[in-house]
Copies of this chain bind each other. A is one copy, B any other.
Amino acid sequence: MKRNVLIIGAGGVAQVVAHKCAQNNDILGDLHIASRTKSKCDAILQTVADKAAMKQDGVFKSHSVDAMDSAAVAALIRQTGAQIVINVGTAFVNMTVLDACIETGAAYIDTAIHEDPEKICETPPWYGNYEWKKRDLCAEKGVTAILGAGFDPGVVNAFARYAIDTYMDDVTSIDIVDINAGSHGKYFATNFDPEINFREFTGTVYYWEDQKWKETSMFASGREWDLPVVGKQKAYQSGHDEVHSLAANYPKADVRFWMGFGDHYINVFTVLQNLGLLSEQPVTTAEGLEVVPLKVVKACLPDPSSLAPDYTGKTCIGDLVKGTRDGAPVEVFVYNVADHAEAYAEVGSQGISYTAGVPPVAAAMLVATGEWDAKAMKNVEELDPKPFFTLLDKMGLPTRVEVNGTDTAWNA
């Protein structure tokens, strides 16, 4: 049993996390949110107040912290009495926040793999480069650390575990498909911070097949999927965090990740990349100013959080898992469909932030109740998926399963 939550970060996902924590503060206790810029936290707290999101009277305070400074994070954990830290800051702060949790004994939850700002798409396994190096220390100290507990990675890891446990003796492949069939009405925009968003696509795409790492490049490997609700959609193999942990936990299965992209997105991306405008290496203008082109592109694009009010349509994210039972082939699609406008109505965010922000709060609630308080470092597929799905059903992200042409709720 753990109580009191400290949220690190104040972006679009943090806003969803804040609302969902507020809606469940009877279980989670005191709430705190901290980022480098306190005013961003205050803006989020204002939306929480506007929606009267707090389930019961309680604490929800904002703080300023430099999350790259582990000692400062540890001090804030002690000051707030937080026993659970939900880290939805930039991917660059994972290790310093994790260290602060190990130092103080607080549970750690994040939604994305650690990144070094100087490196993009490192050689797999990425988790092995940073987080997993702390696995023994977490076990030794009894610190709970749940890695990648957003939607993808996160819920999709639980989808894979559930499909395998429920329907198969052996798994042969896990294909994760992420389709955003929504429309933000802008010429072009990214749904997350463009710096992080584009980084996912500028390096080599790694996937796990025939029990080894294989490589392709972005947009080189695409296929059309026909999915529930969103219909036929083109998706392309991309590198993604969960490929690395699922490949480690299910090494005999092929593990691939597919991200949906429209032709327009690919065209804009291709132009920008070919011109060198997605580069993180500075260029020098004729006037002698040193500038990182990607940072200028980011400044020109719409702020992802500004997209929410006009976002319409749905997302479909799921796992096509193949395997055998009693020697016969089995094929299961476990998935969720979320709606942009419903997300905005509830928490003031678009559907992409919503799907990323709700799951870590569910994970925090399972740590609070003890069901996921593993006292060790875990990726989501290493934890029981059922209580997770049960909470997500109630929190706005219901899990559905399609087996042999029959589509039902996971627990129907």
User: Contact residues of A with B, CB < 8 Å?
Assistant: 187-188, 267-268, 271-272, 274-277, 279, 283-287, 289, 291-293, 295-301
Contact = CB atoms under 8 A, between A and B. Distances in A.
A275 B285 CA distance: 19
Nearest to A264: B271
Contacts of A291: 285, 289, 291, 296, 299
A277 B300 CA distance: 7
A274 B291 CA distance: 21
Contact of A296 (B268, B271, B274, B293): B293
B296 A296 contact: yes
Given A267-B267, A291-B299, A296-B291, A188 B275 contact: yes
A6 B363 CA distance: 75
A9 to B, nearest CB: 15
A283 B299 contact: yes
Contacts of A300: 275-277, 279, 283, 293
Given A267-B267, A291-B291, A299 B285 contact: yes
A294 to B, nearest CB: 10
A267 B263 CA distance: 13
Given A267-B267, A291-B291, A298 B275 contact: no
B277 A267 contact: no
Which are the 6 A-B pairs with shortest beta-carbon distances?
Answer: A283-B299, A276-B300, A285-B295, A271-B271, A187-B274, A296-B296
A285 B297 CA distance: 9
A107 to B, nearest CB: 30
Contact of A295 (B267, B268, B275, B287): B287
A271 B267 contact: yes
A267 B295 CA distance: 22
14 contacts: A188-B274, A268-B271, A277-B277, A279-B300, A284-B299, A285-B292, A285-B296, A285-B299, A286-B298, A287-B295, A289-B289, A293-B299, A293-B300, A296-B296
A268 B274 CA distance: 10
A388 to B, nearest CB: 34
A234 to B, nearest CB: 19
Most buried by B among A283, A285, A289, A296: A296
Contacts of A285: 291-292, 295-296, 298-299
A91 to B, nearest CB: 15
Contacts of A275: 187-188, 268, 272, 297, 300-301
Given A289-B291, A293-B300, 13 more contacts: A187-B275, A188-B271, A268-B271, A271-B272, A275-B300, A277-B297, A277-B300, A284-B299, A285-B291, A285-B296, A286-B295, A286-B298, A291-B291
A130 to B, nearest CB: 24
Contacts of A187: 274-275
Contacts of A272: 271, 275
A229 B286 CA distance: 37
A289 B268 CA distance: 24
A241 to B, nearest CB: 24
Contacts of A277: 277, 296-297, 300
A243 to B, nearest CB: 29
A277 to B, nearest CB: 6
A299 B296 CA distance: 12
